[in-house]
Structure 1
Amino acid sequence: MESSTIESSENQADDQTRWGEVISRKRTMRALLGVEGISFVLAAIIHAGMLVQGYAHREAMIAESVIGAVLLVGVTITWIRPHATFSVAAVVQGFALLVTLIGAWTIIVGVGPRTVPDIVYHGIIIVVLIVGLGVAWRARGTESE
């Protein structure tokens, strides 16, 4: 009887450790979504000509506003439906990555803004979105833990 009590205590400790890891990953995912969303909103403000002069571009402003809004709505949904955090994160980051790749393509073909900050931002945010999408995709099965 004593060994089953020890095993039960060990199982509870393991469950608590796993639960703590899931909570930590959810916080990290929400923070990442928030940072991504805010970065797109700031890029949109720059392309609106408000924050920095000389970088106004209407189409880029619209695209970045939509991406930023989707990411911020996504982080909000993760608070409303915490059991779906990683699935929501995968969907909104997948959308953001797809639209950002289209933006990178417009830079390459000369339709979009071709400034150094635009090129650098697209390169960095594409890497961040790929990493975030990978983390969210791999963690989807842990949501119910």
Structure 2
Amino acid sequence: MRLALAILFLIENCLYAIASLTHAGFVLQGHEHRPAIIAEAVISAVLFFGLISLSLDRPWSRTAAISAQSVALLGTLVGAFTIAVGVGPQTRLDYITHAVMILLLVTGLVWLARNPNAPG
């Protein structure tokens, strides 16, 4: 389970880092959006600290991982809401990316919440 959770966190972290770089114009042109660069970079950092907490295997590791997933989900829902109201890029890529992000984060939260034997 520890390895599977670490892989999930790593996938999420990479997804947010790539999204941030995309909004900076390094991956794709035409998707630049400064607030999204910052938000997705911060979420990527939060998820990275969640991954580190899992690897430390402390009594608080599971709580830290759940907190990281929760903060990331909240931030992503804010991003999805801003897209829905017309702020920022309105591309199919943005819609799909946010849907995948939300799906992965909810999966991680459910996994952590349902498994009391999860790390920590």
Once residues 84 and 135 of structure 1 are traced to their aligned partners in structure 2, the CA distance between those partners, rounded to angstroms, is 17
The count of residues paired between Structure 1 and Structure 2 equals 120
Offset from partner CA, 1:89-120 (integer Å, 9 cap, x none): 21111110010000000000011321110011
Cα RMSD, aligned residues only:
1.7
Unaligned runs of 5+ in 1: 1-24
Percent sequence identity over matched residues?
A: 37
User: What TM-score comes out, normalization by structure 1 length?
Assistant: 0.76
Unaligned runs of 5+ in 2: none
Report the counterpart of residue 105 of structure 1 in structure 2. Answer: 81
Structure 2 residue aligned with 1:142, among 103, 113, 117?
117
Structure 2 residue aligned with 1:38, among 7, 10, 14?
14
User: What TM-score comes out, normalization by structure 2 length?
Assistant: 0.91
> Is contact 1:78-1:84 (8 Å) kept?
no
**How far apart are 1:86 and its partner, in Å?**
2.9
Q: Does 1:120 align with 2:101?
A: no
Once residues 110 and 80 of structure 2 are traced to their aligned partners in structure 1, the CA distance between those partners, rounded to angstroms, is 20
> Is contact 1:26-1:85 (8 Å) kept?
no
Quick check: which has more Rg, 1 or 2? 1
> Is contact 2:112-2:118 (8 Å) kept?
no
> Is contact 2:53-2:65 (8 Å) kept?
no
Aligned residue identity for 1:44: S
> Is contact 1:83-1:143 (8 Å) kept?
no
Distance 1:76 1:114, change over 3 A: same
Aligned residue identity for 2:15: S
